[in-house]
């Protein structure tokens, strides 16, 4: 046992609490990436995270930093409140698509509009997970949910909202990227996006939002493997990955 070499360990940015997420859900990967980013940039002790309402509501127990739990959709406002009085702290929100794209769209847009120096981690799984699989603004056309039992009909329910594209149009935003965590290569890319976003915040360069394409095997009614495949085949074509805005481009 003397020659045991640690090749992988859980990030110190996470606590030892058991995650409450369903098997196969990609929230766990995204938590790991956020935690690793904060540790690697040496920001953990200076960070306040803001939990939202939805599947990730309990993540004030999971991230190993100061945390505030926000009302549904209000995380960017809470983050604004914190950051303005503690400008040297790193502040991020972690929000799902019901929380950010529906009830909290105004708070998200105006945090970007004011150019708040915060980072939003936005997890898009095209459904309300916590409440049992209702239709979200991001639910795909034809996708069946408990409140669109015949599939989302654009005639009465509109077309899915493209958050990264929309946030990129806001003059006050600094960096907006959409990533996915469906395979190791993309997990690494997603990590790079988070590193970039938190570095921008550390350097006081303004508002950053990283949208994650995520899965919800339980409410989609699929195995974890099928859910990942469904995200690749259906979500990514509608929600293309990439950098949508980067005002730091060309900067050294």
Q: Closest CB to another protein among 130 and 187? A: 130
| Residue 81 near residue 91 (C-beta atoms within 8 A) | no
DSSP H helix total and E strand total for the chain: 10, 7
d(Cα 173, Cα 144) in Å, to the nearest integer? 33
Q: DSSP class of residue 45?
A: G
Give the shortest CB-142-to-another protein separation in angstroms.
33
Give the shortest CB-235-to-another protein separation in angstroms.
29
First vs last C-alpha separation in the chain: 46
Give the shortest CB-65-to-another protein separation in angstroms.
6
| Residue 193 near residue 111 (C-beta atoms within 8 A) | no
Q: Using alpha carbons only, give the angle 151, 158, 217 rounded to the nearest 5 degrees.
A: 40
Give the shortest CB-102-to-another protein separation in angstroms.
14
Give the shortest CB-239-to-another protein separation in angstroms.
26
Q: Closest CB to another protein among 10 and 188? A: 10
Q: Closest CB to another protein among 62 and 239? A: 62
Q: Closest CB to another protein among 50 and 216? A: 50
Structure tokens belonging to residue 228: 């990942």
Please report, as ranges, the residues that interact with another protein according to CB under 8 A. 45-48, 50-51, 57-58, 60-61, 64-71, 74, 77-86, 88-91, 106-107, 109-110, 113-114
Q: Closest CB to another protein among 93 and 215? A: 93
Sign of CA dihedral 32, 13, 95, 19: positive
Strands 66-69 and 119-124, bridge-based pairing: unpaired
């Amino acid at each position: 046992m003397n020659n045991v070499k640690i090749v992988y360990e859980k990030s110190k940015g996470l606590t030892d609490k058991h995650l409450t997420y369903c098997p196969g859900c990609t929230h766990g990967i995204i938590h790991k990436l956020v935690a690793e980013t904060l540790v690697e940039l040496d920001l953990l002790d200076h960070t306040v995270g803001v939990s939202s309402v939805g599947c990730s509501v309990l993540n004030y127990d999971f991230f190993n930093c100061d945390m505030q739990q926000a009302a549904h959709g209000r995380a960017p406002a809470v983050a604004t409140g914190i950051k303005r009085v503690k400008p040297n702290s790193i502040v991020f929100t972690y929000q799902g698509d019901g929380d950010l794209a529906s009830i909290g769209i105004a708070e998200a847009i105006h945090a970007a509009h004011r150019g708040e120096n915060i980072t939003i981690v936005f997890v898009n799984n095209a459904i309300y997970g916590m409440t049992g699989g209702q239709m979200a603004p991001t639910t795909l056309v034809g996708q069946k949910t408990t409140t669109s039992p015949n599939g989302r009909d654009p005639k009465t329910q509109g077309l899915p909202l493209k958050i990264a594209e929309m946030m990129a149009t806001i003059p006050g935003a600094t960096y907006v990227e959409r990533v996915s965590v469906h395979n190791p290569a993309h997990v690494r890319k997603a990590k790079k996006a988070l590193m970039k976003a938190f570095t921008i915040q550390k350097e006081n360069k303004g508002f950053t939002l990283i949208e994650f394409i995520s899965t919800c095997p339980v409410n989609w009614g699929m195995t974890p493997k099928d859910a990942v495949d469904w995200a690749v085949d259906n979500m990514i074509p509608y929600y293309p990955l990439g950098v949508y805005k980067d005002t730091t481009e060309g900067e050294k």
